[in-house]
A and B are shown apart, each in its own frame.
Chain A
Amino acid sequence: MNRLAIPKTYKLYIGGTFPRSESGRVYEVLSHKGDFLANAAQGSRKDARDAVVAARSALGGWAGATAYNRGQVLYRIAELLEGRRAQFIDEIMSCEGVNAAVASGQVDEAIDRWVWYAGWADKYLQVAGNANPVSGPFFNLSVPEPAGVVAIIAPQGNESLLGLVSAIAPALVAGNTVVVVANENAPLSAISLGEVLATSDVPGGVVNILTGSPAEIAPWLASHADVNALDLVGAGDLDWVELQISAADTLKRVLPPESGADAAAPALSRILAFTELKTVWHTKAVL
């Protein structure tokens, strides 16, 4: 006789904990064949705001950590993801309708992406910063710093886990904290990634994952005054121009939607898109 399996309750990931949506709403996640897989939490405006509060509170610690430390923490995500490959492959196969080889390829690429970005944590500053030869008795240095809280609409296409990782990892490298709206139709791997993050060394609130309708949640994030930057990488099917207009009220840094197989491809420019350049003039003494 077959053992009766225990299905998982998929919830949100906010501030290092797994709450249900405060709205009490769920939506059905279906397999590619249309079979019921789970009831995912349908995140609301309040959930989005709670996530921003959590992200803001976590910012000081994460941005203030040493670059070496951030690099190790991001690498640790890859280690834990590696250990749970089977679970992610299952979820991807059932949500996306791909075979085991394709699903496993996606998980491998997602793991490698963490490793690639982890390595940037203590290097991007050396590549993007500058010592400036000003005409005067000054030591003048420009260094990139995290922009703050970054709201991300994850890619809504086929590769749900890889899209999510490709969008959040570059924002984390510089020390930003993140609120991300997951792939609406394939949210299972996003919440499982939340479980990986919760058991790795990523402090609570550094990554906050919302499931639900990007169309419903995105406007609240775009207009939120405590969000510093907006990555619309997966917002191509939304009214993203309206989101960008609303982000202009507080002059958020905005990355436009991307399409095609190379959407959110790994790039230093994705790290730098969520940084601010600070230039400090230090006066030299007259000896």
Chain B
Amino acid sequence: MKFLDYAPAPESQALLNLKSDYGHFINGDFTAGRGTPFQTINPATEQPIAMIATANEADVDAAVSAARHAYDGVWSRLSGSDRGKYLFRIARLVQERARELAVAETLDNGKPIKETRDVDIPLVAAWFFYYAGWADKLDHAGVGPNPASLGVAAQVIPWNFPLMMLAWKIAPALAAGNTVVLKPAETTSLTALLFAEILQQADLPAGVVNIITGDGSTGQALVNHPGVNKVAFTGSTSVGRSIARSVAGTGKVLSLELGGKGANIVFDDAPIDQAVEGIVRGIFFNQGQVCCAGSRLIVQESIHDDVIDRLKRRMQTLRLGDPLDKNTDIGAINSAEQLARIRELSDLGQREGAERWSADCVIPENGFWFAPTIFTNVSTSHRIARDEIFGPVLSVLTFRTPAEAIAKANNTPYGLSAGIWSDKGSRILAVADRLRAGVIWANTFNQFDPSSPFGGYKESGYGREGGRHGLAAYLKPAVRSGSRSIAAADPVTTPVTKKSASAKKAAK
């Protein structure tokens, strides 16, 4: 060991008490799945963790029925303050079991323990605590007096922030008075199932939250189930698009939180060392597997060389390795499939003529790993400047004038996030005004808070999560009382087909 080397400091797994097999959590109990179970593995070692059930259509149906039954019989009749009390209980239980959840999340996802311990799990507790307080104050949610819940919410979440995404979905849904069927991502079901145990400890009425596991086909069966009133999805834009198609005409309320290609703009008057920290946080946090990652660095030409030199120096200090080690900065990529995609796009970037540079890291023998990488000399037409890579890969572009920076930042069908680094307040405000993105961080990046709405413009999806607006996504205005000035008219709910439309026309 040399000076400034770190001794291993692994977090203990002793407090985990995992089962070897997990079923679905339906109507308050764990039940075996009817599909073919699959193994969930530790992406840092490729070692198996547990067997996870697959929900087939019958399981999906059982879960939706349980949610409907709980909605009609219990949850929609409960007072707002009682719903809130359950959510407060859940928030406290998450805090009590925070370390256990953090270790399980790191084990199953591959992200560093310092992130699960300091970001993911604290935000889970904060999310439940925040929305707990909303449950008896829905009149102030912004949808008019006495808003109504929607019914049964089908929620499908991704693998990059497994338990945090669960909290973003379940907390506002329950606060608003809906019941839930949630499907975690195939590779990261573990913490959702531990969360089901927390719901049992909280004595949440059976069926209010149901958790079913499986792959994309389970998710598809869930969002297409006719018993569902609300669909909330976080994931890729291509899957979001197909959900928007399949939900069309059904009357289901849809919110989508999809991909991004966030621009991180650094002006020449920015505090450079802080900007470099922000660039690192923007693209290497969670191995860059973040929909709102700052994956395009748009740096003013005059400071390009300085910023890149300092960034490379900083990247050399990033520690890649055992995610359970408390000193690890960069953990494992979540799956072999994702690693293959990152490799493919990075190789393409090189072939298209961009200059590739990676930090020197020792890559562990087993598991899925990708060294932090930057591409310079990237042009706007390169695939690595347009496609979401969802990995620790940064594409660097340059600009001369603010107008050029804004044009480059907005030159994408996505519109989720952006960053601005400058010491000049008036410039930050003017640039933030012109960026077409739902979340903008000025002199910071990748900050999240339950009170702050999150969600995208354009093809990054619609609807917001977090804050008052995230609550409104699970509510509808009260039934109209004859006043023309408050609510919109009833939508036409019967889908019209080409045939019936032309028949109607002929009859006129």
Within 8 A of A (CB), among B400-450: 413, 415, 428, 432, 436-444, 447, 449
In-complex Cβ contact of A266 among B442, B480, B485, B501 (8 A): B485
The residues of B that contact A136 with a CB separation of less than 8 Å are: 447, 449
The residues of A that contact B489 with a CB separation of less than 8 Å are: 258-265
Is A223 in the interface zone, CB < 8 Å from B? no
Interface stretch (choices A21-29, A47-55, A96-104, A236-244): A236-244
Q: Which 9 A-B pairs have the closest CB atoms?
A: A241-B249, A248-B244, A134-B449, A244-B248, A262-B489, A283-B443, A256-B491, A257-B492, A258-B489
The residues of A that contact B455 with a CB separation of less than 8 Å are: 277
The residues of A that contact B377 with a CB separation of less than 8 Å are: none
The residues of A that contact B235 with a CB separation of less than 8 Å are: none
The residues of B that contact A241 with a CB separation of less than 8 Å are: 248-249, 495-497
Is A279 in the interface zone, CB < 8 Å from B? yes
In-complex Cβ contact of A132 among B436, B451, B505 (8 A): B451
20 A-B residue pairs with Cβ-Cβ distance under 8 Å, sorted by A, are A127-B142, A130-B467, A130-B469, A135-B449, A136-B447, A147-B457, A244-B249, A249-B241, A251-B241, A251-B461, A256-B491, A257-B492, A262-B484, A265-B488, A276-B436, A276-B438, A279-B440, A279-B454, A281-B440, A281-B447
CB–CB A260/B440 < 8 A:
no
Q: Which residue of A lies closest to B487 (CB)?
A: A267
Is A269 in the interface zone, CB < 8 Å from B? yes
A251 to B240 CA separation, bound complex (whole angstroms): 8
Is B490 in the interface zone, CB < 8 Å from A? yes
With A132-B453, A259-B489 as known contacts, state yes or no: A238 contacts B241, CB within 8 Å: no
Is A228 in the interface zone, CB < 8 Å from B? yes
CB–CB B244/A238 < 8 A:
no
| Interface size classification for chain B | 35 or more
Is B258 in the interface zone, CB < 8 Å from A? yes
Give me 4 other A-B pairs in contact (C-beta within 8 A), A251-B458, A257-B492 excluded. A228-B458, A240-B249, A251-B244, A269-B488
**Interface SS of chain A: helix, strand, loop or mixed?**
mixed
CB–CB A258/B495 < 8 A:
no
| B441-482 to A contact mask, C-beta < 8 Å, 1/0 | 111100101011111011101101001110000000100100
Is B237 in the interface zone, CB < 8 Å from A? yes
Most buried by B among A133, A136, A240, A241: A241
Interface residues of A, Cβ cutoff 8 Å to B: 127-128, 130, 132-136, 138, 140, 142, 147, 215, 228, 236-242, 244-245, 248-251, 253-254, 256-267, 269-270, 276-283
Is B126 in the interface zone, CB < 8 Å from A? yes
With A142-B469, A258-B491 as known contacts, state yes or no: A237 contacts B505, CB within 8 Å: yes
A117 to B444 CA separation, bound complex (whole angstroms): 38
A63 to B439 CA separation, bound complex (whole angstroms): 19
Is B245 in the interface zone, CB < 8 Å from A? yes
The residues of B that contact A267 with a CB separation of less than 8 Å are: 485-488
A269 to B485 CA separation, bound complex (whole angstroms): 10
CB–CB A283/B444 < 8 A:
yes
The residues of A that contact B438 with a CB separation of less than 8 Å are: 276-279
A132 to B256 CA separation, bound complex (whole angstroms): 22
Q: Which residue of A lies closest to B464 (CB)?
A: A277
The residues of B that contact A264 with a CB separation of less than 8 Å are: 488-489
Within 8 A of A (CB), among B214-261: 237, 240-241, 244-245, 248-249, 251, 256, 258
